[in-house]
């Protein structure tokens, strides 16, 4: 197997990897977010998309297994990306444990944007998915 350098191709930087994660999982995350908003309309929510090689992935999988028992016994090695929606309070707990420096960068709530934490093997990026007008009212 050749590396990007052997093919004279530049290695993607973490920002490009994060953007690819977002584009690949945008639709699934939006569906999950809208379903969760319908169930808990007053709860502040946050999306998380993590590469299975991201440092936060193990913690995220442990939480996902508690919420979705069918995931029990699955390893990060057999997964593609981890995609989910959680309460802002739970995300804060995870960030406090894993990457406290991100706490200062969490965005204020915006009812027209899904806040998303993207976790790559080498870093983190905050992003937002704009909601179409009326999506939350449907």
Please name which of 89, 90, 82, 92 lies closest in space to residue 118, comparing C-alpha atoms: 82
- pLDDT, one tens digit per residue, over 8-67 is 444 578 889 999 999 999 999 999 999 999 999 999 999 999 999 999 888 888 887 777
pLDDT of residue 108: 84
Q: Mean pLDDT, the chain, as a whole number?
A: 83
**Residue where the block lists tokens 């929510």:** 45
For 129, the token pair is 């998915």
Which of the 8 DSSP states describes residue 46?
Answer: E
At 72, the pLDDT band (50, 70, 90 cuts) reads: low
pLDDT of residue 76: 75
- pLDDT, one tens digit per residue, over 98-115 is 889 998 988 888 889 999
At 7, the pLDDT band (50, 70, 90 cuts) reads: very low
Q: What phi and psi, each to the nearest 5 degrees, are found at residue 95?
A: -65, -40
For 47, the token pair is 């999306």
Name, in order, each residue with C-beta under 8 angstroms of 4's C-beta and a sequence gap of 6 or more: 10, 11, 12
The arrangement of strands across the sheet holding 45-50 comes to 82-87, 45-50, 113-120, 123-130
Specify the pTM: 0.81
Mean per-residue pLDDT, 2-7: 43
């Amino acid at each position: 197997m050749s590396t990007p350098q052997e093919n004279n191709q530049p290695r993607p930087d973490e920002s490009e990897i994060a953007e690819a994660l977002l584009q690949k999982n945008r639709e699934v995350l939006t569906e999950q977010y809208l379903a969760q908003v319908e169930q808990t309309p007053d709860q502040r929510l946050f999306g998380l998309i993590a590469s299975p090689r991201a440092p936060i992935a193990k913690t995220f999988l442990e939480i996902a297994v508690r919420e979705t028992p069918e995931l029990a016994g699955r390893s990060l090695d057999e997964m593609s990306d981890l995609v989910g929606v959680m309460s802002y309070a739970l995300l804060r707990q995870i960030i406090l444990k894993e990457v406290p420096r991100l706490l200062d960068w969490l965005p204020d709530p915006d009812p027209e944007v899904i806040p998303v934490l993207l976790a790559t093997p080498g870093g983190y990026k905050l992003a937002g998915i704009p909601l179409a007008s009326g999506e939350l009212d449907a």
